[in-house]
Structure 1
Amino acid sequence: MTDIKIPNVGESVSEVTIASWMKKAGDSVKKDEAIVELETDKASQEIVSPEDGVLEEILVAEGDVAEIGKVIAKLGSGSGKTSSKETKDANKGDAETKSQTEEPSSDEAADAGSALDIDVPNVGESVSEVTIASWMKQVGDTVEKDEPIVELETDKAAQELVAPRSGIIVEHLVAEGDTAKVGQTIARLGESNSAPAKGKPDAPSKGDEGGAVGGTPSVNKDSGSSDAVAMPSAARILKESGIDAADVEGTGKDGRITKADALKAKDNPPVKKSSSDKSDSAPKTPSAPRELGAREERVRMSRLRQTIARRLKDAQNTAAMLTTYNEADMSHIMAMRSDYKELFLKKHGIKLGFMSFFVKACVQALKDVPSVNAEIDGTDIIYKNYYDISIAVGTDKGLVVPVLRDCDELSLGGIEKGIGKLGEKARDGQLSMDDMSGGTFTISNGGVYGSLMSSPILNPPQSGILGMHKIEKRPVVVDDQIVIRPMMYLALSYDHRIVDGKEAVTFLVRVKECLEDPERLLLDL
């Protein structure tokens, strides 16, 4: 008997509501088949069956509340209420599948019996499929328990999948660049003495002709080379760059050409071996034009980049976006940072930056102007009484926006530590779905890249985003005197459907006041 428990569905979520049972007691279920839908105050999520069996007992009824970790059902073994028609159809499908599949050899059968399926895990709410970004272990490679074997990419983040036990990769079922459903088997892990599956080379991803996947030698039909083994991602780069794999020296295991090798060859094209071999017999043509290489490069967008593009365009199409501007004198904050930077570092173990002041200033302004911390849901307005600030972070793979929770309860030190941890996870590709969901307001710092002024785009379904910019010394008038001050332009983009112009200007002025007079933050003014 297997207990079906409420999983951890997100930070700060302690209980869920049973929205609907998709299976009844006595029903048979398959592995990874949805059995119940859970609902929180932020989103809904399905729980799938961990194995084949029968739903023996339902312990929590629809509409009732259950705490995280509570057992809500019991799954037993058996056939359940599967109809004779379903059984007949299933048997028919199995027979057809078997007839269309080549009979495995005795060695393969032995390997299959001892092999462990590597399935795509549930990587987050509302995520139904992932892209195989890169295989970190190839067919035939030995792996240790908890060693990364493949990098998965969703529309929000990248995640490494580790080996559940020690063994040997005997088969890849999904090639790099292809997509796989949650729960789908993408590889098989055999025992230490297992051999790679015979007659089952990895299926090449689209556009990989001429490359090799999973250790299968690539054959370049034009040059006749057959001894260059290129990884899938490397094969794509070489093909798009018009470089023969035989001309590239691989640094990977057994001389395989890695992605790094391909990128290096792309930047510094190697001398063609085929042309040098024929130089003695072929007549030389001094006036022949010099090869310029590829003038264009076509690369498929990552799922993360596709989602960024779609969400930003949706924001423009849906919201009535408008931007208001102001500027802030950063003198006082810069002086405070200079005076207390050593004490702050000694106590909190992290440097005092500008972002913590901006987070605190925005929280203060959000309390004064609640509409900027609200969102539109159909014909309703949802006002948020909490302050989860999204911090835009640029990474090599694109823009991600992790969320710092309950910023109104954090000190400057707590904010700096939280931002530091989120930034580190973003750079390492370790952000989870929970890390990037549920924000109420966003701060984007284009100033770190030198931006003097910009109009940030909303992060749906939020109604406001603050743009920070470069601090630059400029002449300003103070007490009828022209003085030089470190100034920063501030930009607030907002959804005019819910935030009026007066409220937007009031919000930005409040942020300006808190930055120019940081004591306001201490006195809650």
Structure 2
Amino acid sequence: MTDISVPTLGESVTEATVGQWLKSAGDSVKRDDVLVELETDKVSVEVSAPEDGVLSEIVANVGDTVEIGALLGRLNAGNGAAKAAPAKAAAEPATQTKAAAAPAPAAKGGALTDVAVPTMGESVAEGTLSTFLKKVGDSVKKDETIAEIETDKVALEVPSPADGTIAELVVSEGDSVTPGAVIARISAGAGAAAAPAPAAAPESAPAAAPSRTAAAPVSPSVRRISTEAGIDPAAIPGTGRDGRATKGDALAYVNSAPKASTAVAQAKAPRDLGPREERVRMTRLRQTIARRLKEAQDSAAMLTTFNDVDMGAIMDLRKKHQDSFVAKHGIKLGFMSFFVKACVNALKEVPSVNAEIDGTDIIYKNYYDIGVAVGTDKGLVVPVVRDSDDLSLAGIEKGIADLGKRARDGDLTIGDMQGGTFTISNGGIYGSLMSTPILNPPQSGVLGMHRIEQRPVAVNGQVVIRPMMYLALSYDHRIVDGKEAVTFLVRVKEALEDPERMLLEV
């Protein structure tokens, strides 16, 4: 007897809702067959069978809230699986049994190999197949890129698992795909024939899926999909237990439903284009950027405080030591490393800016993983410099340079952008004089840098021209008080105007 338990659901996620059982008690299952779907407030998680067997018992029912490690069901492993399958087949109509027993035709060139969607990273449950780089009939080599998948964070390349010929493309460009889903099939060996035609549809059409009643609960993933598409979740026909709409139902409905099927959709119906206009679908990354920025505004009590800093001391220090710095470390000494160091020092003094809200709790983070906003052709990404407090100026500069290059080349991974505790955004490289940066949830603070401008300021009773920069700190007022925010920004200003004291930690 093997227990089927709730797996780890991702960072800061402690519970889920049982969304749909894909197997019933008594069903025979194979290893890695999906048994049940769990819904969290962030993602949908599939729980698979750890081995061959028979699903002997379902403990957690659809709609139940379960915690990590909770028992979902039990599996009888071993020969029970082989015995259960024929018994179930005998109870089905003869025509269905016969059809199921008919073996699928094999490709003439060799056995078919599935091309599956790889794991896309922690908390990433789906992506969009943006481009097929190969078509049916094309020859491919092992590890050659077949397709590109775009998630809400990064673009992923799907490599060929074997040498062969593309026999079938299972999905189309623009389709949503999940980890493990088959997107294509390869016929092993050279000159493989195209994939066999799909089996004929059964003579009798299946019964229509039951409509979900208004009283049925709406899972988090269905709610998110319907909100993004501008449709009423109650209008989605459900195929789950008691007419409950599943994530698959929502995606299918969004892709096929008429644009004006609901009043909400009518209000968001696309307008007609003029002769000098064009319509381009937003990428998944851009959609996610828009959604997350709006969520930050809606959920956080966001406020911005400003200050300015005299950059003369850092500019003189860079000018004095730049050549020797490059000779020793192989990289230029920029401004960003000073800002990272200054922010880390200020975060140590004002820990609430380095914390996050989790329900009714505050999580204080005793580490300093600083996100650095990078603009790319596809949108803004925020890779993270890990353990910035332990890095030298050269280490920070090298880390930022590497992350920036990989961001522009599209080579960042999910892990490169997760877990940041505070963010620095440099609009000054684009000429920005002043801005109010938006938080990167669940972080509670973001520092905006701006362009350096020669301005007249009063120093010791005299008006002098100094290289000045405006700084902006946006913060979540639910967790950071105004006094703390101002203190943080003043500490950053002091460290930048006297970098030697900062570096000497005095």
Distance 1:303 1:90 in 2: 45
Q: Give matches, 1:450-489, under 5 Å.
A: 450-489=431-470
Distance 1:301 1:44 in 2: 21
Q: Give matches, 1:188-337, under 5 Å.
A: 188-191=185-188, 192-197=190-195, 294-337=275-318
**Which residue does the alignment assign to 1:257?**
none
Alpha-carbon offset, residue 172 of structure 1: 0.8
Which of residues 352, 355, 359 is equivalent to 2:340?
359
Once the two structures are superposed, residues 381-410 of structure 1 have per-residue CA deviations (whole angstroms, 9 ceiling, x without a partner) of 111111111111111111111111111111
Q: Which moved more, 1:422-431 or 1:324-333?
A: 422-431
Check if 1:131 corresponds to 2:132.
no
Contact 2:89–2:97 under 8 Å retained in 1: no
Contact 2:90–2:97 under 8 Å retained in 1: no
Alpha-carbon offset, residue 48 of structure 1: 5.7
**Which residue does the alignment assign to 1:182?**
179
Distance 2:275 2:288 in 1: 28
Distance 1:55 1:409 in 2: 52
**Which residue does the alignment assign to 1:33?**
34
**Which residue does the alignment assign to 2:363?**
382
Which of residues 154, 171, 176 is equivalent to 2:168?
171
Once the two structures are superposed, residues 109-149 of structure 1 have per-residue CA deviations (whole angstroms, 9 ceiling, x without a partner) of 22596110001122112222110011112222222221111
Contact 2:35–2:49 under 8 Å retained in 1: no
Distance 1:89 1:430 in 2: 52
Distance 2:44 2:175 in 1: 25
SS at match of 2:366: coil
Identity of aligned residues (%): 59
Distance 1:18 1:81 in 2: 34
**Which residue does the alignment assign to 1:510?**
491
Contact 1:31–1:50 under 8 Å retained in 2: yes
Structure 2: segments with no counterpart, 5+ residues = 1-6, 56-66, 70-74, 199-272
SS at match of 2:466: strand
Alpha-carbon offset, residue 82 of structure 1: 8.6
Which of residues 335, 341, 354 is equivalent to 1:373?
354
Alpha-carbon offset, residue 295 of structure 1: 2.0
Contact 1:344–1:351 under 8 Å retained in 2: yes
Distance 1:90 1:446 in 2: 68
Check if 1:157 corresponds to 2:157.
no
Change in 2 beyond 3 A, CA 1:461/1:479: same
Alpha-carbon offset, residue 349 of structure 1: 2.0
SS at match of 2:107: helix
**Which residue does the alignment assign to 1:424?**
405
Check if 1:146 corresponds to 2:143.
yes
Q: Give matches, 1:11-160, under 5 Å.
A: 28-31=29-32, 33=34, 49=48, 53-54=52-53, 80=81, 87-88=88-89, 95=96, 109-111=106-108, 114-160=111-157
Once the two structures are superposed, residues 457-498 of structure 1 have per-residue CA deviations (whole angstroms, 9 ceiling, x without a partner) of 011111100001111111112122222211111000001111
SS at match of 1:296: coil
Check if 1:345 corresponds to 2:326.
yes
Q: Which amino acid in structure 2 is aligned with residue 140 of structure 1?
A: G
Q: Which amino acid in structure 2 is aligned with residue 197 of structure 1?
A: A
Contact 1:388–1:439 under 8 Å retained in 2: yes
Question: How many aligned positions are there?
Answer: 401
Once the two structures are superposed, residues 316-344 of structure 1 have per-residue CA deviations (whole angstroms, 9 ceiling, x without a partner) of 11111100001111111111112222222
Change in 2 beyond 3 A, CA 1:471/1:147: same
Q: Which amino acid in structure 2 is aligned with residue 31 of structure 1?
A: D
Alpha-carbon offset, residue 90 of structure 1: 10
Contact 1:29–1:49 under 8 Å retained in 2: no
Which of residues 404, 419, 443 is equivalent to 2:385?
404
**Which residue does the alignment assign to 1:524?**
505
Distance 2:400 2:486 in 1: 27
Change in 2 beyond 3 A, CA 1:360/1:90: farther
Distance 2:91 2:110 in 1: 22
Once the two structures are superposed, residues 354-377 of structure 1 have per-residue CA deviations (whole angstroms, 9 ceiling, x without a partner) of 111111000000001011011111
SS at match of 1:145: coil
Change in 2 beyond 3 A, CA 1:334/1:91: farther
Change in 2 beyond 3 A, CA 1:512/1:34: farther
Distance 2:331 2:35 in 1: 45
SS at match of 1:337: helix
User: After TM superposition, what 4+ stretches of structure 1 lie above 4 angstroms from structure 2?
Assistant: 7-10, 17-20, 26-30, 34-37, 43-52, 74-79, 81-86, 88-94, 96-99
Distance 1:97 1:352 in 2: 73
**TM-score, structure 2 length as denominator?**
0.70
Distance 2:95 2:364 in 1: 53
Contact 2:8–2:68 under 8 Å retained in 1: no
Q: Which amino acid in structure 1 is aligned with residue 441 of structure 2?
A: P
Q: Which amino acid in structure 1 is aligned with residue 192 of structure 2?
A: S
Contact 2:29–2:49 under 8 Å retained in 1: no
Structure 1: segments with no counterpart, 5+ residues = 1-6, 38-42, 57-61, 65-73, 201-291
SS at match of 2:491: helix
SS at match of 1:522: helix
**TM-score, structure 1 length as denominator?**
0.67
Q: Which amino acid in structure 2 is aligned with residue 188 of structure 1?
A: R
Contact 1:170–1:194 under 8 Å retained in 2: yes
**Which residue does the alignment assign to 1:255?**
none
SS at match of 1:109: coil
Q: Which amino acid in structure 2 is aligned with residue 155 of structure 1?
A: D
